[in-house]
Structure 1
């Protein structure tokens, strides 16, 4: 999976943005080697901090500091980190925004590790603000209780086998010839896809999400996907309405059938959740460092619904269906096969409209390297070829 993230069409970086309550004091290891027959391996190297730590001069009295931070992060998608040095860099922005007094932007190539690995590393560098010497608590995932009874187990095995066969076929079809509907969300051509990216950041209260989750007996991911589906439906309806010229915002301007799928990344570690970095680097650990992820095709149902809760019901039904399949494990297995026995360029990601990824973060306010942070931590996946990342 790491080598797939280094291909030109999926050359992905993870950008982490941390906001701090205080200005940052600016005074406070491996590279890819392809010499042995083209096989990529990681080797130790010396780190020159001048190549990795950037402190740009910014106007402290600019009119829109929040927009500047978003534009600064977006401009990082236009540049790449040389493979001759460790593929990460840090950008210190001593600029007051509506969320923080200063901002730290960390860019890491996705081949070094996935979101779970990066989040574990960042949280392990933090300490509790109430106890400066204490590590923060790590949000481990809760395992659901399995159903008992031979009939239910037999039915689950049949359902798992059927869903996996169907998803494998869709995997091959979407990767090579089955395309999404051409919508305003999708770049019309490869040339347009390589234009500059824009980072849009929205912050909302997790308590509201948990309230809806408890009321509908669903998961947090179900609610987040439902919010995304509702937002995309309204956005496309507005765009198609403008295209027709006389379409009103309350009218249904959507086409009869819109195929819009997302590549949804899933953590495949045997023990999901966020763990301390010391636990992840242990040998034979169930929470290995690296890209221990697979992905599934998530079909967004683009439609206007009278009852907003219908979006949540659709999202839950789709996610329950995706949980009863080995699609993610199959894709990870095929990625390993392709990069081992075939040219890496043949191992491509599906031709979906967008990529969707999220990872649990800290639960309380933390201090990062002795600097207080108001738990403002955002992770972005960025790539010049993919049209949309959520």
Structure 2
């Protein structure tokens, strides 16, 4: 509904305007499992006293002026309207807690979204399953911002007086910063800098051109996991793949300078190959590319920050949606391929992405298109990128110590989002030594997400076995 803007209204950021477009309307779902039964009165009291209700985004309505421009307008919060209590099992059939919660989340992913007559967030309490589901509209912030908000409402189990926090990755020291270097070492250093600049320019040019072509007409070849326009409306299923971080850290040691993200994309590549061997035609070409869309945090300090840092307007780690989009190809290989080859290929690809400015370009070009051509054109271009690729993937780092909401310890943290034209979306969150990846699928295209989850889990175990075998030799 259109309304006259007031002086106190705050316009949405370009990214926020993109996420309220009908074709890109996104709601983030964070499922939090609890060790003990949920005390409803305690949860409501904690919400009322939490920092969340002091954050301007969480106590503002989304309004539109007569020109269609979106704004945030401060309003009074009625906490009871934001709490949804379900005291019975949510699944239609008898199933365990995990399957029931996943079924409920799958239904939420294709629901009508969040009502705009109140601030765009809700908390669902699934009493029978000891689970809380936080629903936040993506216009409120990205995964880093929302994880920081959630952690600000929690405490560490081993020290309840301390807020949980995820450490930032420190800047690497320049290896040539010391004194007393010979002139030949300085020459070598500056040649490396020049070569690095040339590589950055070259990879940026290649990836930016590919990004533009993907937003126009270039698309992946058709496979049994491909979605397309309109698939965001199709019914969904949800499954969970579970990994131990220690296993991922062990595997990454097999390739020098590899990261957990490299291992994740190696696992995805291997797991999808396993799945296509089961469901795809036998004529699949070895090396077939399937392209993923991933969001990259562009804050100056990678990783999750504490809420006070994110709330500073002049902070390079500020609150909001500050991420770029990159395209991540994975490749199908027939059975019998060396498991660690998937990791090596993934690392080489991601290293080239890190050297480029693809993520920064996508962020800036999105801002430019939104400013000059409006949200409708920007939404259409983003929608086409999703339609022309095969899957969405994200990875958010959570706390590595057990934390509590009130006095109730958290047993797991998982995240997913509302549906996209992709038939396959994967969101991984790490917590307390474990990494859970939610696999949301269009069930008419991928009817067996539990088998796909097993493919990913077995891919990591096979890599771990390959590393162990190598160490024994």
Deviations 1:316-375 (A, max 9, x none): 00000000111110110011111112121211221211111111001110111332213x
Residue 259 (str. 1) matches residue 289 (str. 2): yes
Contact 1:18 1:104 in 2 (8 A): yes
Number of the residue aligned with 1:247: none
Deviations 1:160-206 (A, max 9, x none): 1111111121111001100111111112x534442112221122211
What is the CA–CA distance in structure 1 between the aligned matches of 2:354 and 2:31, rounded to whole Å? 31
Higher helix residue share: 2
Change (3 A) 1:382 1:63: closer
Identify the structure with bigger relative contact order (alpha carbons < 8 Å, sequence gap 6+): 1
Change (3 A) 1:83 1:341: farther
- Equivalent residue in structure 2 for 1:164, among 199, 204, 225: 204
What is the CA–CA distance in structure 2 between the aligned matches of 1:74 and 1:136, rounded to whole Å? 29
Unaligned runs of 5+ in 2: 1-14, 43-58, 177-188, 427-473
Q: What is the Cα deviation at residue 144 of structure 1? A: 4.0
Number of the residue aligned with 1:7: 21
Contact 2:230 2:421 in 1 (8 A): no
Contact 1:139 1:360 in 2 (8 A): no
What is the CA–CA distance in structure 1 between the aligned matches of 2:115 and 2:372, rounded to whole Å? 26
Give the root-mean-square deviation of aligned CA atoms: 1.9
What is the CA–CA distance in structure 2 between the aligned matches of 1:208 and 1:33, rounded to whole Å? 47
SS at the partner of 1:363?
coil
Number of the residue aligned with 1:72: 104
What is the CA–CA distance in structure 2 between the aligned matches of 1:386 and 1:7, rounded to whole Å? 17
Number of the residue aligned with 1:356: 393
Contact 1:77 1:384 in 2 (8 A): no
Change (3 A) 1:323 1:202: same
Deviations 1:256-283 (A, max 9, x none): 5633111111000011111111111023
Deviations 1:213-255 (A, max 9, x none): 12323101000110011001111121124xx6xxxxxxxx523
Contact 1:230 1:311 in 2 (8 A): yes
SS at the partner of 2:279?
helix
Contact 1:382 1:389 in 2 (8 A): no
Q: What is the Cα deviation at residue 36 of structure 1? A: 5.5
The 5-angstrom pairing of residues 1-390 of structure 1 reads: 1-28=15-42, 29-35=59-65, 37-59=67-89, 62-79=94-111, 80-96=113-129, 102-146=130-174, 148=176, 149-187=189-227, 190-217=229-256, 218-241=258-281, 253-256=283-286, 258-304=288-334, 306-347=337-378, 348-349=381-382, 350=385, 351-374=388-411, 376-390=412-426
Deviations 1:260-319 (A, max 9, x none): 111111000011111111111023112100000001111111213521000000010000
What is the CA–CA distance in structure 1 between the aligned matches of 2:66 and 2:311, rounded to whole Å? 26
Contact 1:10 1:383 in 2 (8 A): no
Change (3 A) 1:136 1:181: same
SS at the partner of 2:128?
coil
Number of the residue aligned with 1:99: none
What is the CA–CA distance in structure 1 between the aligned matches of 2:162 and 2:318, rounded to whole Å? 23
Q: What is the Cα deviation at residue 114 of structure 1? A: 0.4
SS at the partner of 1:216?
coil
Change (3 A) 1:271 1:68: same
Contact 1:127 1:367 in 2 (8 A): yes
Aligned length: 373
SS at the partner of 1:201?
strand
Contact 2:165 2:306 in 1 (8 A): no
What is the CA–CA distance in structure 1 between the aligned matches of 2:299 and 2:215, rounded to whole Å? 24
Unaligned runs of 5+ in 1: 97-101, 245-252
Contact 1:111 1:291 in 2 (8 A): yes
What is the CA–CA distance in structure 1 between the aligned matches of 2:198 and 2:116, rounded to whole Å? 46
Contact 1:260 1:300 in 2 (8 A): yes
What is the CA–CA distance in structure 1 between the aligned matches of 2:76 and 2:423, rounded to whole Å? 35
